């Protein structure tokens, strides 16, 4: 009997350890503006939150909350945005030349008093000795009464030559794009007259709200696909967020929808809209993981009083256009 005691003790300890590993894992996680990336065998979600929220998973189903990117609000952001308390919006994650680049936005709500910053890290694994976020501060800024665009919702995309561009924007003059310097930390373009990639207005001079935001560009075969979110987020059951898409063979556009209408003139083919289960869905990212393309976004759960939840759907392509798998 004593000979059996040790194996049973080891088994009990193992079961306890496995149970402990499962503690804190969640499937139905509440996120806003998620973006996903994979390092080694671990998937990481970065999303809007105080200090930038981070989740990790080994299967894209069970998620563990990780430490915030910023324990304290970046000082440059505090100095730039009146009343800023550290709530950071819409991060974007990418990898280049041994570094992870995390672009993020800070803003006064409802105003284009906004700026996009960037931080880098050698690894996303918190237990690595190389893990350390280094903040490089402001990349681009918008000013009320001076710029007709809003410097939030960044997404990095490179052309076939490896030239980096930052697409961004919300409301105001619509979605914009600027070229970055090779180091990806500063803007290379003249920002006094940035062309519009997408707008809900057919005529730029028309009055009224321009409810478009959250651009994300994904290259597939010979086309660049521009995804965007239209109508309104952040209203719980009153949200009516939707996603649209257009495409172009040139990274700078023009991006057109299935009917050939330019997104800069109000075009955009609908890819996802509200239904009986979700009041709205939007602010998406696109990622190719393990040979499959995924649409990653948040939806307002009709079964949970409109609380924003993480959604990940497989995406396939039909006649050169993205469609969501059933």
Supply the pLDDT for residue 22: 42
What three-state secondary structure class fits 163?
Answer: coil
Q: What is the DSSP string of 27-78?
A: SS---SS-EEEEETTEEEEEESEET-EEEEESSSSSBEE---S-SS--HHHH
CA distance 135 to 321: 37
Q: How does pLDDT run across 115-174, given as a tens digit for each residue?
A: 999 999 999 999 999 999 999 999 999 999 999 999 999 999 999 999 999 999 999 999
Q: Are 227 and 137 in contact (CB under 8 A)?
A: no
Confidence of residue 6 (pLDDT cuts 50, 70, 90): very low
Q: How does pLDDT run across 21-48, given as a tens digit for each residue?
A: 344 799 999 999 999 999 999 999 999 9
E strand intervals along 109-211: 114-121, 134-142, 155-158, 164-168, 175-179, 196-198
CA distance 67 to 2: 44
CA distance 73 to 182: 27
> Maximum Cα–Cα distance for the chain, whole Å?
86
CA distance 49 to 53: 5
CA distances, 139 to each of 18, 47, 144, 182, 191 (Å) = 44, 19, 17, 13, 12
User: Which of these is catalytic: 33, 153, 231, 257?
Assistant: 33
> What mean pLDDT comes out for the span 58-63?
98
CA 37 to chain centre: 10
Q: How does pLDDT run across 225-238, given as a tens digit for each residue?
A: 999 999 999 999 99
Supply the pLDDT for residue 325: 80
User: Which of these is catalytic: 92, 153, 213, 301?
Assistant: 213
Q: Which residues of 152-175 are buried (b: 16+ CB within 10 A; e: fewer)?
A: bbbbbbbeeeeebbbbbbbbbbbb
CA distance 178 to 198: 14
Instruction: Kindly state the percentage of the chain with pLDDT values over 90.
Output: 88
Residue 19 has pLDDT above 90, yes or no: no
Supply the pLDDT for residue 3: 36
Please confirm, yes or no, whether 275 is among the known catalytic residues: no
Confidence of residue 266 (pLDDT cuts 50, 70, 90): very high
> What mean pLDDT comes out for the span 196-211?
89
Please confirm, yes or no, whether 33 is among the known catalytic residues: yes
Sheet with 212-220: list strands edge to edge: 212-220, 223-230, 242-248, 269-272
């Amino acid at each position: 009997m004593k000979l059996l005691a040790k194996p049973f003790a080891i088994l009990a300890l193992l079961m306890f350890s496995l149970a402990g590993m499962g503690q804190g894992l969640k499937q139905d996680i509440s996120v806003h503006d998620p973006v996903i990336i994979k390092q080694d065998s671990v998937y990481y979600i970065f999303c809007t939150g105080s200090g930038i929220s981070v989740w990790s998973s080994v299967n894209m189903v069970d998620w563990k909350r990780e430490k915030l990117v910023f324990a304290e609000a970046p000082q440059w952001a505090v100095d730039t945005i009146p009343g800023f308390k550290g709530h950071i919006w819409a991060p974007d994650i990418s990898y280049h030349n041994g570094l992870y680049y995390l672009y993020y936005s800070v803003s006064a709500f409802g105003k284009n008093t906004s700026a996009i910053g960037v931080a880098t890290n050698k690894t996303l694994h918190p237990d690595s000795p190389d893990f350390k976020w280094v903040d490089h501060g402001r990349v681009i800024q918008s000013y009320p009464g001076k710029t007709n665009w809003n410097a939030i919702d960044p997404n990095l995309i490179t052309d076939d030559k490896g030239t980096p561009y930052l697409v961004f924007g919300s409301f105001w003059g619509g979605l914009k794009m600027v070229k970055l310097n090779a180091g990806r930390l500063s803007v290379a373009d003249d920002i006094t007259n940035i062309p519009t990639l997408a707008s809900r207005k057919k005529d730029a001079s028309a009055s009224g709200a321009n409810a478009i935001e959250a651009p994300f560009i994904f290259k597939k075969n010979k086309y660049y696909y521009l995804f965007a979110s239209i109508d309104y987020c952040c209203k719980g059951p009153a949200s009516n967020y939707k996603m649209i898409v257009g495409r172009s063979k040139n990274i700078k556009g023009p991006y057109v929808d299935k009917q050939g209408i330019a997104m800069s003139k109000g075009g955009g083919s609908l890819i996802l809209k509200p239904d009986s289960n979700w009041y709205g869905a939007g602010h998406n990212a696109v990622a190719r993981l393990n040979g499959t393309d995924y649409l990653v976004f948040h939806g307002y759960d009709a079964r949970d009083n409109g609380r924003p939840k993480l959604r990940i759907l497989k995406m396939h392509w039909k006649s050169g256009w993205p469609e969501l798998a059933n």
